[in-house]
Amino acid sequence: SEGESYDIAYERAAQFALSKGTLIVAAAGNDSRRSIGRFSPVASPADCPSILAVAAIDSELQIGDFSNRAINSSGLVDIAAPGVEIYSSWSMPARYRTLSGTSMATPHVAGIAALLFEKYPDATPGIIENELRKNALSLPLLVEDVGAGLSIAP
């Protein structure tokens, strides 16, 4: 909850993953209700310094009503991706469903990170994170909400 520090166990795991060449990307969380003035901090484990936190934006490049934000020292939002009304796979028999959430945005960023690792096979996770940030489309929104902006594929 608000004002609490990140979970050190998740942070240690993320640091270990980074040391082995793995970048961890996590959903910022869906606890906000911006339309009624309720803003929730970045959720665990995305609030860890060594984990990339992803916010959700809609097709109009506006922040999702539910998307959490950086509050005080609760963890940063690093980047944003499409996460509102995303056509996605679903369990049988439905097969597909339109879903919204930072968990819909996170795979976009993970996929772009994979493309960057393919493009730069000798890159460290830090280099890939820098490329993600550098390639992001700056948005006229608060950095607390979208970090570097909209994640863009190379």
52-61 residue pLDDT tens: 999 999 999 9
Do 112 and 151 form a contact (C-beta atoms < 8 A)?
yes
Tell me the per-residue pLDDT of 81-122, one tens digit each, with 9 for 90 and over. Answer: 999 999 999 999 999 999 999 999 999 999 999 999 999 999
- Res. 2 pLDDT band, cuts 50 70 90: very low
User: Mean pLDDT over all residues of the chain?
Assistant: 95
What does the block give as tokens for 31? 């606890």
Q: What does the pLDDT read at residue 72?
A: 78
- Res. 4 pLDDT band, cuts 50 70 90: low
Q: What does the pLDDT read at residue 22?
A: 95
Tell me the per-residue pLDDT of 30-41, one tens digit each, with 9 for 90 and over. Answer: 999 999 999 999
Q: What does the pLDDT read at residue 75?
A: 86
**Sequence-ordered list of residues with C-beta below 8 angstroms from that of 148, at least 6 positions apart, any chain:** 78, 79, 132, 133, 136, 138
pTM for the whole structure? 0.94
Q: How far is CA 83 from CA 65, 126, 131, in A?
A: 11, 24, 21
